[in-house]
Amino acid sequence: MGHWYEQRESAGGVVRITEPKVRALLSANVWWLRGADRDLVVDAGLGVVPLRAALPQLFARDPLLVLTHAHLDHVGGAPEFRSRAAHAAAAELLGRGVPASLYGAELSRQLGIPADGAPLPELLLKALPYPDYDPATYRIGPITLTQHLHDGDRIDLGDRSLTVLHLPGHTPGCLALLDEHTGELYSGDVIYDGDLIDDLPESDIPTYRRSLQLLADLDIALIHPGHGPSFPATRLRELTAAYLRATD
Ligand SMILES: [Zn+2]
């Protein structure tokens, strides 16, 4: 259980925490930024293994947690944080309890994933965190927020600040955080280097297109996405252009 999470220093001095034993669909990043006055954690993982027990140093400075959107692989560990923020449009779903299952068929049903695609793996973990772990017990309870975020809000960490960008499309409450000084963008599932998911019942393709068009026009240097490693702006422009072409 001690090796459930992996952490490594990524470009720009930010720490990327991953769950390598989770299958690709649900293997999301937790980003840890250490500020002069306060730490910021972007997203909270799947919540299969408590973060606080595995990575106590993450909590040493009582960080602010920002959730990029209300999907299980990004919010599972949220109840472990004292300060929890997300876009106001995600608050209701988080408060109700997000759909959550580690079984592909059950998760597809809960999320409303269209049946025409390839079915999800039977179990969305590659390995159990410990031998007698029962994936059937996995749940995400209601998550109440201590702060509602809106487009243009600023999060001040002392030596750096981040601007909230409301970028709906994948979900109505998707946000990204932009450090305008360094050009680093924490993008959640708005953009990552892979197939973007726009066919959930809560997704909206025209809205998603507007969000990606907005991103393509911003001064961004480096993207820290919700899934996979960081990538530079050149790749961001390729990805946004490809999506805008494919959905035209
Ligand atoms: Zn998502």
Question: Which tens digits make up the pLDDT trace of 202-236?
Answer: 999 999 999 999 999 999 999 999 999 999 999 99
> For residue 189, how far is its CA from the centre of ligand 1 (angstroms)?
5
Alpha helices, DSSP H, located in 112-232: 205-216
Q: How far is the CA of 205 from the centre of ligand 1 (A)?
A: 14
Query: In the prediction, which pLDDT does 85 show?
Result: 98
Tell me the mean pLDDT in the region 177-188.
97
Q: Could you tell me the distance, in angstroms and rounded to a whole number, from the CA of residue 4 to the centre of ligand 1?
A: 21
| Residue with more model confidence, 44 or 11 | 44
Please give the distance, rounded to the nearest whole angstrom, from the Cα atom of residue 68 to the centre of ligand 1.
9
Is 108 within 8 Å of 31 (Cβ atoms)? no
- Residue 2: pLDDT band (50, 70, 90) is low
Measured between alpha carbons, how far is 241 from 197 in angstroms, rounded to an integer?
16
Residue 16 CA to ligand 1 center (angstroms) comes to: 18
Q: Mean pLDDT across the chain, nearest whole number?
A: 95
Can you list the domains of the chain with their CATH numbers? 6-246 (3.60.15.10)
Q: What radius of gyration, in Å, describes the C-alpha atoms of the chain?
A: 17
Between the CA of 180 and the centroid of ligand 1 the distance, in Å, is 24
pLDDT-derived band at 65, boundaries 50, 70, 90: very high
Tell me how far the alpha carbon of residue 229 lies from the centroid of ligand 1, in angstroms: 16
The model's pTM is 0.97
Element (H, E) at 75: helix 72-75
CA–centroid distance, residue 133 to ligand 1 (Å): 25
Who contacts 73 (Cβ-Cβ below 8 Å, separation ≥6)?
22, 25, 26, 27, 28, 45, 46
DSSP 3-state assignment of 179? Answer: strand
Helix (H) or strand (E) holding 84: strand 83-87
**Residue 164 in this model has a pLDDT that exceeds 70:** yes
Question: Per-residue pLDDT averaged across 89-104, rounded?
Answer: 97
How far, in Å, is the centroid of ligand 1 from the Cα of 72?
Answer: 8
The C-alpha torsion from 141 through 1 and 86 to 213, rounded to 10°, is: -120
Single-letter residue type at 36: A
Q: How far is the CA of 36 from the centre of ligand 1 (A)?
A: 30
Q: Cβ atoms within 10 A of the Cβ of 132, count? A: 5
Side-chain half-sphere CA neighbours of 175 within 13 A: 28
Tell me the CA–centroid distance for residue 21 and ligand 1, in Å: 18
- Cβ-contact 49, 111 below 8 angstroms: no
Q: What is the DSSP string of 214-237?
A: HHHTS---EEEESSS--EEHHHHH
Residue with tokens 């996979």: 228
